[in-house]
Every structure is written in C-alpha cells, then in structure tokens.
Chain A
Amino acid sequence: MDDNLTARVAADPRYQALKSKRSRFGWLLTVAMLIVYYGFILLVAFDKSLLATRMGQGVTTIGMPVGLGVIVFTIIITGIYVQRANKEYDDLTEQIVKRALK
C-alpha cells in the first residue's frame, strides 16, 4: 500500500469514526466479558454457599442457571458484536475503501 493511499484513508473522517467506534465497542464488550467471567470465578472463590443455595423445593441450585448463564452470555455477546460489525462497520468500511480507491 503506498503512503499516499494510507494518508488519504487516515485523513478520512469516516475512517476515524470507524476506528474509534469499533475500538470502543470492542473494548466495552471485552470488559463486560471479563467482569462476567472473573465475577463468576470470584463468586465461587469467596462465597461457595451462595451458588449452592437451592432455588426451590428441589435440588437445583442457583449455581446451575448462573453457570449455564455464563455460557449463554458468552455466545450472545459474541453474536452482538458480529451482528453490529456485519452491518455498521462493514458498511462504513465499504464506503471508506470505495472512496480511497476511486
């Protein structure tokens, strides 16, 4: 890629927007994932009895939906990012590329 092209893209306000939006969203979701996972681990480490509390009359504990919830959350949060990136970021990228290579 020549320097000229790089400079042109870098100066494009839409490129700036793409970069900061994607980076902010990516880190936001990363932090959310870290909080959920390490929150879960710390909960296990510091309050084992909470997750072992029965939910109702039966033997099913709070830990079961919480643990499975972490799995489901992991899949959903990945889906959210991909959904947004497929629409918003790809459109923006396409515009930037089109203009830069014109």
Chain B
Amino acid sequence: MNRGTQFATTLLAWLGAAGAAWAAGADLGQAEKQPTNWTAITMFAIFVVATLFITKWAAARTKSAADFYTAGGGITGFQNGLAIAGDYMSAASFLGISAAVMVGGFDGLIYSIGFLVGWPVVTFLLAERLRNLGKFTFADVAAFRFGQAPVRVFAASGTLVVVAFYLIAQMVGAGQLIKLLFGLEYWIAVVIVGALMMVYVLFGGMTATTWVQIIKACLLLGGATFMAVMVLWNFGFSPEAMFAKAVDVKTGLATAAGKAPDAAAKEGFSIMGPGGFIKDPISAISFGMALMFGTAGLPHILMRFFTVPNAKEARKSVFWATTWIGYFYVLTFIIGFGAITFVLTNPQFLDAKGGLLGGGNMAAVHLANAVGGNVFLGFISAVAFATILAVVAGLTLSGASAVSHDLYATVVKRGKADGASELKVSRVTTVALGIVAVLLGIAFEKQNIAFMVSLAFAIAASANFPVLLMSVLWKDCTTRGAVIGGFLGLVSSVVLTVVSPAVWEATLGNPKGSALFPYASPALFSMIIGFVGIWLFSVLDQSPRAQQDRAGFQAQQVRSETGIGASTAATH
C-alpha cells in the first residue's frame, strides 16, 4: 500500500466519473474525531469574543430595517469587497481546493478558476444596476417594474432553495471540520455554529455579519499567505524547484505502489497538466456555466451590493472581491503543492496505511503544522471555523430577508408593513432558520452532500440569474414571463440534478449507469430552459399587466443607468 492510498481512494470516488463530485467544494467527507486541540480552541474563543463585541457594537447601531438588511448602506467599496470575499471563500474551498491540488495538481487549478470567472460578469452587467435599483434584496431589482407578489414569491423561493442547500452543505462541513480540528463531537460543533450565527444576525444584522466576514477574510488571506510564502521560501522562491520536488514525490509514491519506473515517472509528472477532471466537454461547459453565472445569482452575494452607498462603490467592491478571491486561489494552488512536498513526505502526518491523518481534506491543516508549528496549526484551525461562521451568517441573513422583506412585507402586507414589524419577522425567521439549519446539519451527518453546493450554484444560474438579467436589460420582459421562466429554470435544475449520476447513483444508491441525465451539471440545459421560458412567455403575454410591465422599462432603465431616485445611505 502506498502512502496516500486511503485518501486517494476517497478522493477518487470524489472526483468520480461525474465531475459533479468535484463541485464537492463543501463536502468534507466523513472525518475521524481527533484529540481535543486546546490551542485551536483558545484561538477560536478569542475570535468568538472579539466578534461578540463587534456584534454588541453593531446591535447599538441596528435600529431600522435598513440597518438590519444593509448596515444602513454605509459600507465602503473596499470593505464590501473584503466582505464579499469573506462570504465567498468557504472553509471547504480552502481545505477542499488545496486537497484537490495535492491529489490532482493542475486539475485543482482548473476547478478553482471556475469559481473566479463569474465575478467580471457580475461587474460588467449587474453590480451598478443592482445598486441603483434595489434596496434590501435582489427581488427589489427583479420585481422593480413587475407585479410585485408573483415575482417576489418566485425570488423568495429561489433565495430559500439556494440558501437551504448551501446552508446544509456548510453545516455538515462545519460539523466534520470541527470534529477533525478541535476534537469536539459533531453535534456540539453544529450547535455552536448555529447558535453563534443566530447571535450575529439576530442582534448585529448586516453590520455584524459584514465585520465578521471582513475579519475572517483578513485572517484567512493572512494565514494562507504565510503558508504559501513559507512553502516558496523553502524552494528559494522558485516555482520550478517546487514543481520539480512535487513531481519527484509523486513519482516516488507511484514507484512505492509497485509501478514500473516509466509508468511511475509518467504518473508523477501528470500533476503538471490536466488529468481526469474534465472528461466530456458538455459536462465541463455545463459545470463552468453553473459556477460562472451562479455567482451572479447567489442571493447572499447579491445582497451585499445594497450595503454600499452608490453604484461607484458597488463597482469597486466587485473589483476588490475579484482581486482577493483570485489571489486566494493562487495561494491555495501553492498550498496544495506545498502539501505534496511537506505533508506527503512526513510520516508524522500519515496514518499506518499511508493516508493523511484525519482524512484527505487535512492537507492544508497538516501543512500549517509543517511550516508554522503547533501554534500556527491552532490558528489555521480557528480560521477555518471562523470562515464557516462568516459564510453561514451571510446565508441566514439573506434567507431571513427573503421571508421578511419579500414574503411578509410585500406579499402578505402588500407593502404596508411598518419597519418594526418587518424587523420582528426577520428576527423570528433568523431563529427559525438557525434551528432548521442545526437540525438539518445533524440529519445530514452521514449523507453524501457533495452535490449540494454545485446544485446551489446551478439553481442560482438557472433561476435567479436569468430573471435578474432579463428584468434589468430586456424591455419586453413581463411579470408572467419572468415568473414562469424563473420557475422552469428552478425546477429543471433541481430535477436534472436529482437524476444525474452524482445524486441518482452516488447518493440515492441506484445502480451505476441508471441515471437519466449523464452530465455533471444541469446548468447548460436548465439555463437555456430558464431563458427561453422567460422569452417565450413574455412574448406570448398580451395581458394588461404585460403592457404595464413594458411601459415601465424606460423609467427603470433611467434609474438603473443614472442612479436618479436610487435609495441612499441611511444617516446615523
């Protein structure tokens, strides 16, 4: 048995025939419980205490609904860029991508690039217009000139479905990770995450959430930078030397596994080029579309654009977000190669069978120990936990605002709800979401949740994004078209995911080859269904409402382009 066999088998199953398993960004697998790590727990406790002080400060400033949803619109572009990055870089992408690079080398890079390329599209087509048209949620934008109730019901459904899948993935990931890093029981970890996120959102609203995300982004970027610099420093800052050593290590592993010298050399060198990640072009394109356009349809990300005072700051915030996230993926790539050279060669980090102690996703964590010792290991573990908190807080806030602002205030109360009662509903929803998230997190402990994050991206790309784009840019879009097309995109992306190999075979346990939909991601098809649905039902729509919808386009466009009439920052 060569070292790494155990995790390699796990990860091979994970990379699987279906690339969808690659979207397993959030799947941390079944983790083994580790001895209690007091350094990590102490560092995490410091983070929690600091964030609770911030929450207390934020609570004093959170009086109106605008404070709760958008921090009063007073966040700067640079701060918001960091917060978006903090919202987007999950613990799973840190641990998952560095582990993927350790196993597959270049393939891990291909995977991470997919998560970055959506950001320019958001910048060019949506960011400024979103800021000019919206107030609290993306439904404000999608429903701007349309019949409020139907579009809001659609947008709230799109939001809650995306948030639910994303949240379950994060909760299960959190439980596994904390079990792994801190040596706590799974359920305790899930309850801690649920309780803290409720406290942040409940009392501190968007202000606390934003600062938790900013701090976490700084800690994660700082920690990852330190690791990458230490790795490169060991190779005299020569990437070639690092790559050469990594190829060497991989070749040695293949030889130890009984490969002939030629085959071993070939296998060692395979990390330097594309491997099995992209099998068929259709899956590759479809998965790429889910990541690219899903980014532009994630409700918790879109919501962040309303926290800045104007379109200029909105635009700047995406630029900073893109920069930090791109930089982060470069770091994870170096960290992955560092793990090959420092972790796979050190018996201290390997179990009896040669696998990584604690499972495949521990690559970055062991590397932290290798380059920075026990204290830095504690720091990185605490950062990973903090990362999950920041992401779940953003998700919860977004789900709560969909219920209170879109469903309660606009649909139930027909726009006549007062701020105080709207705020109350969002707080009740926050508690409900927190409890549901904890229960689902516990219920899904043993489930294969690899598909959930990719499903969330596919739904966002096929339902939220088409409706948003068409309502903002296409004059002839109507209420009926947007709602029917949006739901078609939503339903088709869910159904096609369920009958794809990753869920039908890998999760539901049906025989191999029985999946009706052969590709890794539904986005290529469900996005077309969504867009064509919106177009067709808008063109066919001759109702009086449709005429009103089309007539409203000019006023909407003037506001979206110039910002005249856009909601302004609350004064404190």
| Chain A residues near B (Cβ < 8 Å) | 1, 3, 5-6, 9-10, 15, 18-19, 22, 25-27, 29-30, 33, 37-38, 40-42, 44-46, 48-49, 51-53, 58-61, 63-64, 67-68, 70-72, 74-75, 77-79, 81-82, 85-86, 90, 93, 96-97, 100-101
Report the bound CA distance from A60 to B124 in whole Å.
Answer: 34
Report the bound CA distance from A5 to B555 in whole Å.
Answer: 9
Contact B558 A78 (CB under 8 A): no
The answer, yes or no, to whether B150 is at the interface (CB within 8 Å) is no
Contact B565 A1 (CB under 8 A): yes
Known: A41-B278, A42-B281, A61-B272. A78 touches B288 (CB 8 A): no
Most chain A CB atoms below 10 A, which of B280, B329, B561: B561
The answer, yes or no, to whether B109 is at the interface (CB within 8 Å) is yes
Contact B312 A44 (CB under 8 A): no
Report the bound CA distance from A8 to B523 in whole Å.
Answer: 41
The answer, yes or no, to whether B292 is at the interface (CB within 8 Å) is yes
Residue in chain A with minimal CB distance to B288: A41
The prevalent SS among residues of A at the interface is: helix
B123: chain A residues at CB < 8 Å are 78, 81-82
Contact B106 A67 (CB under 8 A): yes
B314-322, B342-350, B364-372 - the one binding chain A: B314-322
Contact A45 B113 (CB under 8 A): no
Partner of A68, one of B117, B284, B330: B330
Report the bound CA distance from A79 to B322 in whole Å.
Answer: 9
Report the bound CA distance from A5 to B110 in whole Å.
Answer: 49
24 residue pairs A–B, Cβ–Cβ below 8 Å: A6-B554, A15-B561, A18-B561, A37-B117, A41-B278, A48-B273, A52-B269, A52-B273, A58-B243, A59-B240, A59-B243, A59-B244, A60-B240, A61-B106, A63-B273, A64-B239, A68-B109, A68-B333, A71-B330, A75-B326, A77-B120, A78-B319, A81-B123, A86-B312
Report the bound CA distance from A60 to B330 in whole Å.
Answer: 16
Report the bound CA distance from A39 to B474 in whole Å.
Answer: 28
Report the bound CA distance from A36 to B503 in whole Å.
Answer: 31
Report the bound CA distance from A45 to B284 in whole Å.
Answer: 8
Contact B562 A93 (CB under 8 A): yes
Contact B243 A40 (CB under 8 A): no
Contact B120 A33 (CB under 8 A): yes
- A36 → chain B closest CB, angstroms: 8
- B547 → chain A closest CB, angstroms: 16
Contact B106 A81 (CB under 8 A): no
Residue in chain A with minimal CB distance to B239: A60
Report the bound CA distance from A5 to B274 in whole Å.
Answer: 56
Known: A59-B243, A67-B109. A30 touches B554 (CB 8 A): no
Partner of B322, one of A37, A60, A68, A74: A74
Known: A10-B554, A30-B120, A61-B273. A85 touches B326 (CB 8 A): no
Report the bound CA distance from A38 to B289 in whole Å.
Answer: 9
The answer, yes or no, to whether B559 is at the interface (CB within 8 Å) is yes
Partner of A1, one of B106, B121, B559: B559
The prevalent SS among residues of B at the interface is: helix
- A57 → chain B closest CB, angstroms: 9
Closest 9 CB pairs of A and B: A52-B273, A26-B124, A45-B281, A1-B565, A82-B319, A61-B272, A37-B117, A44-B274, A6-B555
The answer, yes or no, to whether B567 is at the interface (CB within 8 Å) is no
Partner of A51, one of B239, B244, B274, B330: B274
Known: A22-B561, A51-B274. A78 touches B318 (CB 8 A): yes
Most chain A CB atoms below 10 A, which of B318, B554, B562, B563: B562
Contact A63 B124 (CB under 8 A): no
Scan B535-572; emit 1 where CB is below 8 A from any A CB, else 0. Answer: 00000000000000000001101110111110000000
Scan B318-342; emit 1 where CB is below 8 A from any A CB, else 0. Answer: 1100110010011001000000000
A97: chain B residues at CB < 8 Å are 562-564
Partner of A37, one of B244, B292, B323: B292
Contact A63 B561 (CB under 8 A): no
12 additional A-B residue pairs with CB within 8 Å, beyond A37-B117, A45-B278: A1-B564, A27-B125, A30-B121, A44-B277, A44-B284, A52-B270, A67-B113, A70-B113, A70-B117, A74-B116, A86-B316, A93-B562
Known: A51-B273, A78-B120. A71 touches B558 (CB 8 A): no
- A77 → chain B closest CB, angstroms: 5
- B231 → chain A closest CB, angstroms: 15
Residue in chain B with minimal CB distance to A29: B124
A63: chain B residues at CB < 8 Å are 106, 272-274
Contact B110 A71 (CB under 8 A): no
B312: chain A residues at CB < 8 Å are 85-86, 90
Residue in chain B with minimal CB distance to A45: B281
Scan B287-328; emit 1 where CB is below 8 A from any A CB, else 0. Answer: 010001000000000000000000010011011001100100
The A-contacting residues of B in range 238-272, CB under 8 angstroms, are 239-240, 243-244, 247, 269-270, 272
Contact B273 A6 (CB under 8 A): no
- B40 → chain A closest CB, angstroms: 31
A77: chain B residues at CB < 8 Å are 120
A42: chain B residues at CB < 8 Å are 281, 284-285
Contact B555 A1 (CB under 8 A): yes
Contact B244 A93 (CB under 8 A): no
- A42 → chain B closest CB, angstroms: 6
Report the bound CA distance from A18 to B564 in whole Å.
Answer: 14
B561: chain A residues at CB < 8 Å are 15, 18-19, 22, 93
B119: chain A residues at CB < 8 Å are 74, 78
Contact A48 B274 (CB under 8 A): yes
The answer, yes or no, to whether B422 is at the interface (CB within 8 Å) is no
Residue in chain B with minimal CB distance to A52: B273
Residue in chain B with minimal CB distance to A46: B281
A30: chain B residues at CB < 8 Å are 120-121, 124-125
Report the bound CA distance from A67 to B128 in whole Å.
Answer: 29
Report the bound CA distance from A97 to B311 in whole Å.
Answer: 14
